[in-house]
Structure 1
Amino acid sequence: EAAFVTELVVSELVTNAIRYGAPPMQLRLIRDRTLICEVSDGSSTSPHLRRAHAFDEGGRGLLLVAQLTHRWGSRQTGRGKTIWAEQLLAQD
């Protein structure tokens, strides 16, 4: 299940960066006690969580990320922004 969640989170964040962001874009995965997925792009526009209507084709990506991860957020950088999501990992 963790691999599925990771694939979905990466897909949603990268899709949002392509659709709403600007070049350059970068994906970074950081694994320690948790798994952090970061997607950076050249746009300074902050993401916002919204509820899509039943027949909307989009608008559910960040809502899915928020529901599937421990926490998520964004930060401004000197070259745009980074959106990140943190997953808890099963303890071995």
Structure 2
Amino acid sequence: MLMLLTAADAALAAGCRSDSDCNPGILCLFARDRSTGICASWEPPIQIVPETDPAQVPLRERSTGTRCQFSVDCAPGQFCYKRGSHSEGQCL
């Protein structure tokens, strides 16, 4: 689950280029093809159950904070933010 910082940290959430631009314990997450990221906390996504095809990640409704693989999986105006090489991210 991805959670944005409090309103007091809105400036940090607005844009970052590395984890050092964020508060301790908070990471800089990037959407594909975006030059700046957002400061957010990160918990690894739920693991895919063995019966599920590993090439397909189940997606929830297209709204803020839902899981995604690509920005097209998100609501209009949102992007799919991922950490490192994770195949799944969160719509923000």
When normalised by structure 1's length, the TM-score is: 0.23
* Structure with higher strand content: 1
When normalised by structure 2's length, the TM-score is: 0.23
* Structure with higher helix content: 1
